[in-house]
Amino acid sequence: MSGGVFICYRREETGFAARAIYDRVAQKVGRENVFLDVDNIDPGVDWFDALNARVGACDALVAVIGRNWVAADKDNRRRIDDPDDVVRIEIEAALKRGVRVIPVLVDGALMPKAGDLPESLRGFARRQNIEISHNRFEADIERLTRVLTSILEPPRPREGHNAAETPQAEEECGERAKAVSRAKTRAAPALKESSSQPKAATPARILDPKEGPIAFIALEGHQAVISSAKFSSDGTHVVTASSDKTARVWDLRHTPPTFVALEGHEDTLTSAAFHPNGTHVVTVSTARTARLWDLRPKAPSFVALEGHKSAIWSVTFSPNGLHAATASTDNTAIVWNLWQERPSFITLEGHKNTVWSARFSPDGTHVVTASNDGTARVWDLRGEKRSFVALEGHQREVHSAEFSPDGTHVVTASEDGTARVWDLRQPQSSMWNFWGYLSSNLTLEGHQGRLYRAEFSSDGMHVVTASSDKTARVWDLRNGRLSFVNLECNKGPVWSASFNPDGTRVVTVCDDNTARVWYLRDKQPTFVVLPSVRGQFAAFSPDGMCVLTACDNAARVWRVGDFVPNR
């Protein structure tokens, strides 16, 4: 392949969409084969000459078209009519050379008609377009990348130049994570390149065999308690958020791990989350601010997300990465549209007390919120009017609400000591009871204290609950017969409980300063103890080989995948 793919766009209208397309296409064919002006022109180079040279050499041109692509400005002038308009020049050059030109319609844009275009661009109107919509983003972008890869012949990586095959890239968290890292290093922008001088953490430490059998990596350096820690989707990075007003993005492929600091918030950070492709992070704080960080530059940059009126407690990305959802003490959740140059948002309002969490459905079309007002709500994001279904019936605060893997059910956990499973497939005629809310079809009761969390297993057949009564329970929902297995701690509440990806293990965090990894395949579940864990969360890595915990101002990544407890 010679010239690769050229992405043509108007920065002020479709800059974020162009960046999203660039990221996904680059994952397939390699960054070196996709041209986006802000990334690929060296400082001091005449951008006009550079654009013309690259258009003249490209194999395919993707023209990103927004709603105002041919619209007139306030002075009734159209940029497309200007012979010096950069977008016009790029498309004209591609058409003259016979390059494959692919119009990509975003944000509901329509294909321009030939009569609306200058004579030199009339042929552009006859090119078959691809529409990329929010609701079908994954399928639409896959169609585009298939077309482009059929035009291009992706280059083979040169021997000895695959960074993921160097000793630094042989990370601790299992063969599957290594495979993902190797596959993505060539195509996607690695975070280790996002800092010119990554900072070294305290060297990785291994538990002495006398202390215990599980090895861990220590992520140390925060100056206050860590409030949140999460893996990236490929398991090669961790983001930590702290009361010291900073977040850190840790690269686990290095020994010792390196990190990039995200600084500038004015108060305690409560949560942070990775974009699905790992190139961005959103951080949220008690100072009612959120920030969208771009990790690709040498010095990470950010866009402020302003809209909440009080402390923000959680953040999550939609599965396709186009939106983020935040939940706040101001009784609202906000869904942020990250496609635009300046992110816009819609507010989900109506709860009467703090909203603790907001989670997307697997297809990204709905959000479920959990609130201190004793309810959860399932919001439909399709269409201009945001409708919702209220999930009412709990007697006290709802601490968490999560979708099932197929999006057909929601499980809620409450201060009233119960969890409820809600079936969202009920027909409209039977969905609503007399009071106008959805009735749960299954109540998980028997705990002797408040519930902090409930979540589904990956097959949707089990639910795990965490309670202040010193236990977690794994509930079997199959065959309509409700049964459970108790997972007991020695002391105090079980703050959280989460399944591993295949549902065969659960990690719990207990108030006795330990986490426990439970093996559910045994008739009587067995467990291993992870000591010195002082926090309220723990999570498995995406490949299930590691567990992430916090201990005051440090996080730990424990290798548990190949360890089996003594029986």
Q: What is the pLDDT of residues 137-157, one digit of tens each?
A: 777 888 898 888 888 864 343
**Is position 261 within any domain?**
no
3-state secondary structure of 164: helix
**Is position 410 within any domain?**
no
Single-letter amino acid, residue 538: A
The residue with tokens 């601790």 is 172
Strand-pair partners of 35: 6
Report d(CA 29, CA 7) in Å as an integer. Answer: 14
**Is position 559 within any domain?**
no
Q: Are 56 and 96 in contact (CB under 8 A)?
A: no
Pairing between β-strand 199-200 and β-strand 130-132 as defined by DSSP bridges: unpaired
pLDDT for residue 394 is more than 50: yes
Q: Strands across the sheet with 301-305, in order?
A: 269-274, 280-285, 290-294, 301-305
pLDDT for residue 251 is more than 80: yes
**Is position 160 within any domain?**
no
Comparing 47-51, 390-394, 483-487, the range with the smallest average pLDDT is 47-51
What per-residue confidence (pLDDT) applies to 21? Answer: 86
Q: Residue 195 half-sphere exposure, CB side, CA atoms within 13 Å?
A: 15
What per-residue confidence (pLDDT) applies to 42? Answer: 67
Question: What would the pLDDT profile of 499-528 be if each residue is shown by its tens digit?
Answer: 999 999 999 999 888 999 999 987 788 899
pLDDT for residue 163 is more than 70: no
**Is position 16 within any domain?**
yes
Provide the H-helix boundaries in 427-471.
428-431
CA distances from 253 to 152, 206, 234, 239, 380 (A): 31, 16, 11, 14, 39
Report d(CA 184, CA 26) in Å as an integer. Answer: 10
**Is position 390 within any domain?**
no
pLDDT for residue 181 is more than 80: no
Q: Are 521 and 561 in contact (CB under 8 A)?
A: no
- Which CATH number characterizes residue 84's domain? 3.40.50.10140
Model confidence at 174, pLDDT cuts 50, 70, 90, reads very low
Q: Are 539 and 230 in contact (CB under 8 A)?
A: yes
Contacts 24+ apart (CB under 8 A), 485-489: 485/520, 485/525, 487/516, 487/518, 487/525, 487/527, 489/514, 489/516
Strand-pair partners of 505: 519
Q: Are 338 and 315 in contact (CB under 8 A)?
A: no
Report d(CA 26, CA 5) in Å as an integer. Answer: 9
What per-residue confidence (pLDDT) applies to 152? Answer: 80
Model confidence at 178, pLDDT cuts 50, 70, 90, reads very low
Q: Strands across the sheet with 526-530, in order?
A: 494-499, 505-510, 515-519, 526-530
The residue with greater pLDDT, 281 or 189, is 281
What per-residue confidence (pLDDT) applies to 406? Answer: 92
Q: Residue 510 half-sphere exposure, CB side, CA atoms within 13 Å?
A: 24
Domain count, the chain: 1
**Is position 552 within any domain?**
no
**Is position 44 within any domain?**
yes
Q: Are 511 and 492 in contact (CB under 8 A)?
A: yes
Q: Are 368 and 378 in contact (CB under 8 A)?
A: yes
Report d(CA 161, CA 164) in Å as an integer. Answer: 9
Question: What would the pLDDT profile of 226-235 be if each residue is shown by its tens digit?
Answer: 999 999 999 9
Pairing between β-strand 60-65 and β-strand 100-106 as defined by DSSP bridges: parallel
Question: What would the pLDDT profile of 301-320 be if each residue is shown by its tens digit?
Answer: 999 999 999 999 999 999 99
Report d(CA 292, CA 275) in Å as an integer. Answer: 10
From the list 451, 484, 454, 455, the residue with the least C-alpha distance to 468 is 451
- Mean pLDDT of all residues belonging to the chain: 82
pTM of the model: 0.66
pLDDT for residue 164 is more than 50: no
- Out of 38-52, 388-402, 432-446, 474-488, the most confident range is 388-402
Once rounded to an integer, what is the mean pLDDT over residues 3-9? 89
Q: Are 149 and 62 in contact (CB under 8 A)?
A: no
Q: Which domain holds residue 99?
A: 5-151
What per-residue confidence (pLDDT) applies to 437? Answer: 43
Once rounded to an integer, what is the mean pLDDT over residues 25-30? 81
What per-residue confidence (pLDDT) applies to 85? Answer: 87
Model confidence at 213, pLDDT cuts 50, 70, 90, reads low
Model confidence at 346, pLDDT cuts 50, 70, 90, reads very high
